[in-house]
Structure 1
Amino acid sequence: MSGPARYVPRRRARCGAALTLVFAGVLVTGAAAGSWSAAGRHGVPPVPAAGEVLGAGTDDAGRHGGDRWGAVYSAEEYQGFQRALDGAYVGVGLSLRSRGDGRIEVADVQRGSPAGRSEIAAGDELLSVDGAGAAGRPVTEVVSRLRGDYAGTARAGTPVRLALRHGGRTLRLTLRRERLSAQSVVADRFRAGRTAGTKIKVGAFTRGTGVRVRQAVRETAPGEGVLLDLRGNSGGLVTEAVGTASAFLDGGLVATYDVHGRERVLRAAPGGDTGRPLVVLVDGGTMSAGELLAGALQDRGRAVLVGSRTFGKGSVQMPRDLPGGAVAEQTVGRYRTPSGRPVDGRGITPDLEVEGDAEPRARAVLGGLGGGS
């Protein structure tokens, strides 16, 4: 069941990082740092590139007619969106999130990236980017500085100076941005006591995510369970979220949404694996299409959700072309889970709420469901 209404901050418009959900043939949601939330035009909206995901921005809805998620993007920004739809981006391979006290920390480091070849580790506090302090700033702004939009250096090969709190000391280093391929799906087999299975980490719903998840499920040994990790998932193409749901459902409702008051329906494809034990990990960084997927699996009784309440981004935006190639997004509706629960401003409350690292508890729950060998 949904928890109490929650204030959802809004990302800054025209700020070099996106945090949006769009509908126009496909629904998309985005959040990226040094990568970029992606979008295309003429019915292909923004998607979050996987790397450098962000948390919450500032709420300046009053400056945009009360539309918390509305925004305007330049033609150059939309070109970056196009690339990110395919999971490609220019950045250093950092995923970021905001702590409750305003500090910015590293949520994840992409393997093989400039950050991945450095000493930076998940949990490090990001102190500054090119000399600008990170604490107290919207994550969107920090993301934009990582990418280089503020300085006009959002190109492969350009340097970015970082200062971080790392293991009790201050780490200062300079990385050079690269064109990276986001790893939207990473599958690893695990064993913990008598519990064995496959952990499938989905960082964002870029093109092909649904197919990769279905393949990972098929490759899981008979009798073993799946731990679907949606923590920090900033969203993406909702068609891919529905494709991922189809890996675990045999058809049926995934979500409903409205556009200008007219209800539409999203349905899973038939033939998914409905018998394998499934536990889904969620947290406050699970957003939009990630929440849609988690809510569907919870409502349909297909999975046990473990972790903390999700972000609460369930609105639908529609893009509109502006002169000069710019694109504006305006909120036109909201989506709901199969049982009719609204997500926007509420989020999804997990079945088992866990403070801190929820993965050990999730594995224990999976074992209790029969996930083992």
Structure 2
Amino acid sequence: MPGSWFLDTRPRRPRRGALTMVFAGVLATGAATGAFGGELAAFGSAAPGSTAHGAGRSALGGPADAKRESAGSRGARERAGGDAADAVVSRSGDRWSAAYSAREYEGLRQALDGSYVGVGISVRQTRAGASRTDGTGSGAADGESATDRAAGRRTGHGTAVRVERVQPGSPADRAGIRAGDRLHSVAGRRVTGEPVTAVVALLRGSDPDSPADAADPGTRVRLHLTRAGRDLHRTLQRERLTTESVRVDRIGGGVTRVAIRSFTRGSGEQVRKAVRDRVTETGPVLLDLRGNSGGLVDEAVTAAGAFLDGGLVATYDDDGTEHALYAEDDAEHPGDVERRPLVVLVDGGTMSAAEMLTGALQDRGRAVVVGSRTFGKGSVQMPRPQSDGSVAELTVGHYTTPSGRDVEGRGIAPDLSVRSRSESMERARTVLSGLEARS
């Protein structure tokens, strides 16, 4: 990981534990990395293994700035803990810089490799009594990040936490937990009304203020759930699980949906294989990037090759030097990609490397983008190991889309703007039908 380029999508407090659960919901998602309940994405075609993060908020769901420590308390902890990265980040004055302990950085590395410690539950916030949102796989799991969490939305007392999805073969699956179950407490702590990031942190056995510090495999956690008014009490043993960063399914009308939760190692090739094996020569594709917090940029560039006939994906600068990232066409099916109608679904939780991919497909006229404006994180960070084993992540540049757009603070505006999640899916299908009719 040292020497890799990062796109950090989350303003972080200059302190240890600033990582939010990406995957913890990346299946903290996550997603992205399956370790931090928010968003981790790597920027590194030129430097393989780099990452791009996409959170923008604190682990508890509010603006990170609102959770900043005073200089006095931060300095006291630095003197007590000897965390050199804290001192470096504090001196930088950069709100996007972050400090990681050695353990947190190891968790980040594992997350980017597509693994996390948890029980295999993806959760989503819903209004109490309201119907559950459609299961697109972008909820927050104890290893990945959900849209609500990634966007940093605060919750009220009227929100319930429901199981969005259960990973097959996981401890939760073996215990009989199902999608739709309502989650009331984790380890004895009530979670109704809590931000998804805090729930994910509890599922992973970490402090909500420092979710990167997850519990070890083999530790147990008690859950209280209800199903159709019936109480369910389950004690699960955490395991190291593999993040499900890519899901492929058919949604009717010959449409293949490719949902990418985050760009972990190997996810780009998974997308290419899915399109190659599951999509007919001219079959329409729905690329679902909602709640995708980012990930390894190399993987996003690889995924772009499933839809672009080669060419530019993005440019980025580091210390004034500009570099270009190019997609490679699928050599096994040259030219096929341009014949497939394509719609990209995005929302406020679409961040970093996911925004880079969206911008490339939109700028090059390859896809119609449907949904709401994306998060807007385009700065580039580079990790710098310190003498005590901690790592300081400092901003060194920005990336732009093929047309030269800088998404930092702006995000990407959809071609067709819709408000609700269910409406975006309906509109996407309508657009795909129109594109298919003209193809």
Which entry has the higher C-alpha Rg, 1 or 2?
2
Distance 1:174 1:94 in 2: 13
Question: Which residue does 1:348 correspond to in 2?
Answer: 412
- Higher fraction of strand: 1
Aligned residues: 350
State the Cα deviation string for residues 152-181 of structure 1 (Å, max 9, x = none).
761122122345686678765443211111
Structure 1, unaligned stretches of length 5 or more? 1-7, 21-28
Match of 1:74 in 2: 101
Amino acid at match of 2:429: R
Structure 1 counterpart SS, 2:355: helix
Q: CA RMSD in A?
A: 3.7
Asked if structure 2 preserves the Cα contact closer than 8 Å seen for 1:35 and 1:90, the reply is no
Indicate the residue corresponding to 2:348 in structure 1.
Answer: 284
What is the DSSP-based 3-state SS (H/G/I as helix, E as strand, rest coil) of the residue aligned with 1:222?
coil
TM-score (norm 2): 0.68
2:217 aligned with 1:156: yes
The aligned counterpart of 2:375 is 311
CA offset at residue 322 of structure 1? 0.8
Of residues 171, 176, 179, the one that matches 1:121 is 179
* Distance apart, 1:133 and its partner CA: 5.0
Mapped pair 1:366 → 2:371: no
**Residues 285-306 of structure 1, C-alpha deviation per residue, up to 9 Å, x if partnerless?**
2111111101110111100111
In structure 2, do the counterparts of structure 1 residues 321 and 302 end up closer, same or farther at CA, with 3 Å as the change threshold? same
Match of 2:5 in 1: none
Q: 1:246 & 1:309 partners in 2: Cα distance?
A: 24
The CA deviation at 1:138 is 6.2
Match of 2:114 among 80, 87, 108: 87
Question: Which structure is higher in helix share?
Answer: 2
Residue 45 to residue 78, structure 1, CA distance change in 2 (3 Å) = farther
**Structure-2 change in CA distance of 1:46 and 1:154 (3 Å):** farther
Q: 2:276 corresponds to which letter in structure 1? A: R
The aligned counterpart of 1:295 is: 359
How far does the alpha carbon of each residue in 1:300-335 deviate from its partner, in whole angstroms, 9 at most, with x for none? 110011122222222211100112211110112222
The structure-2 alpha-carbon separation of the partners of 1:235 and 1:39, relative to structure 1 and needing over 3 Å to count, comes to: closer
Write the distance in 1 (CA, Å) between the matches of 2:410 and 2:433. 30
Matched, 1:145 2:202: yes
Query: Residue 164 of structure 1 contacts residue 170 of structure 1 at CA under 8 Å; is this kept in 2?
Result: yes
Contact preservation (8 Å) 1:253, 1:338: yes
The correspondence of residues 31-50 of structure 1 with structure 2, limited to 5 A, is: 32=34, 37=40, 44-46=49-51
> What amino acid maps onto 1:215 in structure 2?
K
Closer/same/farther in 2, CA of residues 274 and 343 from structure 1, 3 Å limit: same
1:155 alignment partner, SS class: coil
Quick one: which amino acid aligns to residue 200 of structure 1? V
Q: Give the whole-Å Cα distance in 1 for the aligned partners of 2:61 and 2:338.
A: 35
1:255 aligns with 2:282: no
Letter in 2 for 1:251: G
Return the letter of the residue paired with 1:338.
P
TM-score by length of 1: 0.79
Moved more, 109-118 or 30-39: 30-39
Q: Is the 8 A contact 1:17 1:144 kept in 2?
A: no
Counterpart contact for 1:202–1:230, Cα < 8 Å: yes
In the alignment, which residue of structure 2 is the partner of 1:26? none
Please name the residue that 1:197 is paired with. 255
Contact 2:375 2:411 in 1 (8 A): yes
DSSP 3-state at the match of 1:183: coil
Q: Distance in 1 between matches of 2:229 and 2:323?
A: 51
